A and B are shown apart, each in its own frame.
Chain A
Amino acid sequence: MKTLIKTIAIGLSAFALSSSSLMAEDYPSRPIGVAVSYGAGGATDFQARIVTMVAGNKDILGQPIYIINKPGAGGRVGWNWFASEADKDGYTLSAYNIPHFIAQSIKGGVSYSADSFEPIANWGEDPAVVVVGKDSKFNSMEDLIKFAKENAGKVTTSGAGLFVGHHIAALQIEKACSCKLAYIPTKGGGAAAMKAVIAGDVMAGINNLSDAYRAEKAGNIKILGVADLKRNKEFLPDVPTLKEAGLDVDNSSVNYRGLMVPKGTPQAVIDKLAAQVPLMFKHKRVASKMSAGGSPMNIMTREEVQKMWAAREATLKELLKGL
């Protein structure tokens, strides 16, 4: 009997030695996890599952990527965990949402900032759009703004939460028209905010382009404007930008999604990921599934993302000053 126990003990320890403490050159030697700070079925979760589906290919990473959902408080729960508890060995990645996490860190009360993370690459950009129900009396941004100016604080406008892209867009619109909206943050992300618009709980809403495009095709809503620098040619060529509608709103609220690792991850691992991950995003199967789902892509390398983060942080600090 004792020999049996001994054999098991030896077997276990041998197994432990072989599986732990592997060097960066073998990276990755086991599946990689990606933490998504939103619930299963949300836009970020859905896109993260698509863009990582070819990770197991030999010419990409050679190991599959699996998704861990850590939803709560507009993403704060997931990113807090990622900044403070995640292993810094390259086997735990996280999806980022810009401007969400930078805006939250400027607002305070969280244990992360843009410096807590190292970007790897960007896969998508999803501009915020202004939507109203299909039977709404508003047919253009001008109608909406005119009403808002005459009735300060009466235009109930739903969005996915406070200090997320939708809220930033609402703040920018208020600043540009010098009028007041009643921004209603919903729990349960963009889907809940969209439901509030369709059901007529609110007069207008700010939502993701991808979700709004779908809802418009289903005949439930009208899209009045895009909060971006140029029109979206692929999905909404006929919808004007807010700038065209006379509002000085730039692309600060555009929701960029990509992958990052915690600061302190070995440089060799970061370099390997930064080289391989864009290839994964560019894979033709990824592109076809993303476009089928109505999700706009914008692949950016690590250097480009670093610049984008820095630029966003500066504009957001300016915008959120005094709030």
Chain B
Amino acid sequence: MEFLNHFGGVFEPISFMLLLVGTIGGLILGATPGLSPTMAVALLIPFTFQLAPTQGLILLGAAYTSTVAGGAVSAILLKIPGAPANIATSLDGFEMAKKGEGARALHLSFLSSGVGGIIGVLLLIFLTPLLAKWALAFGPSHLFWLAILGVTVIGSLDSKSFVKGLLSGCIGLWLSMIGYDDIQGAQRFIFSSSLTGGINIIPALIGLFAIPQVLDMFAKGRRNAEIETVQVPKQSIMDSARELGRSGRALSIGTIVGSIIGLIPGVGGQIAGLVAYDQSRKFSKHKKKFGTGHSEGVIAAESANNAMVGPSLVPLLTLSIPGSPTAAVLLGGLLIHGIFPGTDLFDNHPKVAWTFINSMLVGQVLMVIFGIYTATWAARIARAPQPIMAAAVMVLALFGSYSVQQSMSDVYIMLTLGVGMFFLEKFGFSAAPLVLGLILGPIAEANFIQGALISNAQNGPLEYFLTGPLNIFLVVLVIASVGYSFWTNMLEQKETTLEAGAKS
């Protein structure tokens, strides 16, 4: 309960001011296309040079929590996911916004972010020593199986066509291998000089999600441009809160999946949202509604990606190992003040450590308040006339993908992938499994190679990859997941043939 003693630190005037600045700034930075939470936090580091350690960390902690939630804003309104964490949010969120329910989607996303986020930070406060062991339990073989488990989700993520879902995943895995390979440094599949740097995930996300949307607006032509503007009744915050209460299942699945996966170094943050989305669809009574603007999809995805924030810091704060790129940047924020995470942090600088953690707790609350306050206003963006919307998303996509590494290659890749995806989508392929392949490919490969190298020095790959309780557990999950997808796919096909038969 030590954290309660340090709550006062958050409410000192300067600290609270910084907390406000961090939260609001984080929301804006998070909503900016192309700016991932990692980059947003890195941008704020120079400001902390001038501040006392506690104050600097308050700024960074608040910014971290709110950038993750802020990414949902552009994911919902523009279908530009701010970071891999927000991909799943845009699947249903953007459909809701298209139906005119943008405000409702934003309310739900901020409320579920808040709930997930607070539970995540509480886990960090109470269970840290336990969680640290869990985070270290994952060696290369386990991370490999975990990535494969993520890949198996691909088949069920795309409800339209099983084969095309898997095929999209394969295309994603192949795209992830383009460029220099990370370990050997060999060149692979470089067809054009723009590809030497490989395919960066953020420009790819912008291209794959935002550009097909822009092209869809083009395809409607001039005449139809203003037909789709729908009027919807105003959504009050109480309505949204009640709706969240009714969606307890999606909320708890999101929070649990987010906290468990968020903890695993190197994998967590990127796929927590997608896995939670997929799981809550499997357990939902309204499976068919997912992907058509169903609120449970937004709730599961957003509660998961904020629940991961707290646990993802466990390896950093206890073992001094940054488990995610954002944690690595936060580590820098600590180091410039001569504070080393680990036992040193909690023993010698308890005020810094606990104020930081508390600031994330209070930051979550502030984030929900500000988010909801601006949601109604922000949702109007989605109601802008189509030609403006198309032009604006196009320009934002260009600036967003350029600013990631200030590279024109990223812009070319973004547009090429986007145009390709537009045509593929028209034939039943989809972007979500493709992106999942793109994210998981490098993780699976690096751990496969590392595991193979380590196993060569031990008793061979079979024993290394297939023995031990955690390996067996993960392999069983992989088999179960593939089996489930196959089974439901067979059932659905039977249904459609029956329906077709009944009609004729």
Provide the A200-225 mask, 1 if CB < 8 A to any CB of B, else 0. 11100000000000110111100000
How distant is the Cα of A53 from the Cα of B45 in the complex, in angstroms? 10
Interface of A is mostly: mixed
Contact A202 B454 (CB under 8 A): yes
The answer, yes or no, to whether A62 is at the interface (CB within 8 Å) is no
Query: A199-B139, A293-B336 given as contacts; is B185 within 8 A of A41 (CB)?
Result: no
| A39–B328 touching, CB < 8 Å | yes
Closest to B265 in A: A195
B497 CB contacts on chain A under 8 angstroms:
none
* Segment of B88-96, B315-323, B487-495 engaged in the interface with chain A: B315-323
Given A109-B185, A153-B457, A185-B183, do A39 and B406 touch, yes or no (CB 8 Å)?
A: no
**Which residues of A are found within 8 Å of B457, using beta-carbon distances?**
153-156, 182
Interface size on B, residues (CB 8 A): 59
Assuming A39-B325, A218-B343, is B185 touching A104 (CB within 8 A)?
yes
A198: which B residues are within 8 A, CB to CB?
136, 319, 321
Question: In this assembly, does B453 line the interface, its C-beta being within 8 Å of a C-beta of chain A?
Answer: yes
Contact A77 B196 (CB under 8 A): yes
Q: Is the CB of B453 within 8 A of A184?
A: yes
Specify which chain B residues have a CB less than 8 angstroms from the CB of A296 in the assembled complex: none
| Selected contact of A72 from candidates B182, B330, B335, CB within 8 Å | B182
Q: Which chain A residues numbered 19 to 62 have a C-beta less than 8 Å away from chain B?
A: 33, 39-42, 45-46, 49-50, 53
**Min CB–CB distance A323 → chain B (angstroms):** 13
Within 8 Å by CB of B185, from A107, A153, A201, A294, lies A107
Complex Cα distance, B447 from A188, in Å, reads 11
A272 interfacial by beta-carbon distance below 8 Å: no
Contact, CB under 8 Å: B325 / A162: no
**B446 contacts A53, C-beta separation under 8 Å:** no
Complex Cα gap A219–B456 (Å): 30
Closest chain A residue to B141, Cβ basis: A201
User: What's the nearest-Cβ distance from chain A to residue B366, in Å?
Assistant: 25
Check if A80 is an interface residue, CB within 8 A of chain B.
yes
Cross-interface CB contact of A70 among B49, B322, B343, B407, cutoff 8 Å: B407
Q: Does A187 count as interface, using CB distance less than 8 angstroms?
A: yes
Interface membership of A279, Cβ < 8 A = no
Q: How far is the CB of A282 from chain B (nearest CB, A)?
A: 17
Report the separation of the CA atoms of residues A157 and B49 in the bound assembly, to the nearest whole angstrom: 36
- A76 is an interface residue with CB less than 8 A from chain B: yes
Q: Are A77 and B179 in contact (CB under 8 A)?
A: yes
The CA of A67 and the CA of B329, in the complex, are separated in Å by 13
Contacts of B265 in A (CB 8 A): 195
A296 to B456 CA separation, bound complex (whole angstroms): 36
Does A218 contact B446, Cβ atoms closer than 8 Å? no
Q: Is B140 an interface residue (CB 8 A)?
A: yes
Residue of B with least CB distance to A181: B457
Shortest A183–chain B CB gap in Å is: 8
Inter-chain CA distance A252–B49, complex, in Å, is: 33
Type the 1/0 row for B443-470, where 1 means its CB is closer than 8 Å to any CB of A.
0001000100110111000000000000
| Cross-chain contact A50 with B328 (CB below 8 angstroms) | no
Q: In the complex, A72→B342 CA distance in Å? A: 28
**Chain B: CB-nearest residue to A41:** B328
By the criterion CB–CB under 8 Å, are B328 and A81 in contact? no
**Known contacts A184-B454, A214-B340, A293-B335; is A76 also within 8 Å of B46 by CB?**
no
Chain B residues whose C-beta falls within 8 Å of the C-beta of A154 in the assembled complex: 457-458
Contact count band on A: 35 or more
Q: In the complex, A156→B140 CA distance in Å?
A: 13
Which residues, 325 to 350 on B, are CB-close (under 8 Å) to A? 325-332, 335-338, 340-344
A308 within 8 Å of B by Cβ?
no
In the complex, what residue of chain B is closest to A80 when comparing beta carbons?
B196
In the complex, B197 has a CB within 8 A of chain A? yes
A281 neighbours in B (Cβ, 8 Å): none
B198 at the interface (CB under 8 A from A): yes
Query: How far does the alpha carbon of A85 sit from the alpha carbon of B196 in the complex, in Å?
Result: 12
* Shortest CB distance B340–A (Å): 5
Say yes or no: B319 contacts A218, CB within 8 Å. Answer: yes
**Chain A nearest CB, measured from B196 CB (Å):** 6
Pick the contact of A184: B182, B335, B450 (CB < 8 A).
B450
* Contact indicator B183/A161 (Cβ below 8 Å): yes
Closest A residue to B143 by beta carbon equals A201
Q: How far is the CA of A185 from the CA of B340 in the complex (A)?
A: 26
Chain A, residues 164-200, CB within 8 Å of chain B (1/0): the string is: 0000000000000000001011111001101110111
Judge whether B180 is part of the interface by a CB distance below 8 angstroms. yes
**With an 8 A cutoff between CB atoms, is B184 at the interface?**
yes
Residues of B within 8 A of A (CB): 38-39, 42, 45-46, 49, 136-140, 179-187, 193, 196-198, 265-266, 315, 319-322, 325-332, 335-338, 340-344, 405-407, 442, 446, 450, 453-454, 456-458
Q: Given known contacts A53-B46, A73-B185, A200-B136, what 9 new A-B pairs fall within 8 Å (CB)? A: A39-B328, A41-B322, A45-B42, A77-B180, A163-B185, A182-B456, A184-B450, A185-B183, A201-B139
Residue pairs across A and B with Cβ atoms less than 8 A apart, 24 shown, are A33-B406, A39-B328, A40-B38, A40-B325, A40-B328, A45-B332, A72-B198, A73-B181, A73-B198, A77-B179, A81-B196, A109-B187, A153-B457, A156-B454, A161-B182, A182-B453, A184-B450, A188-B266, A195-B136, A199-B137, A215-B342, A217-B342, A219-B343, A293-B332
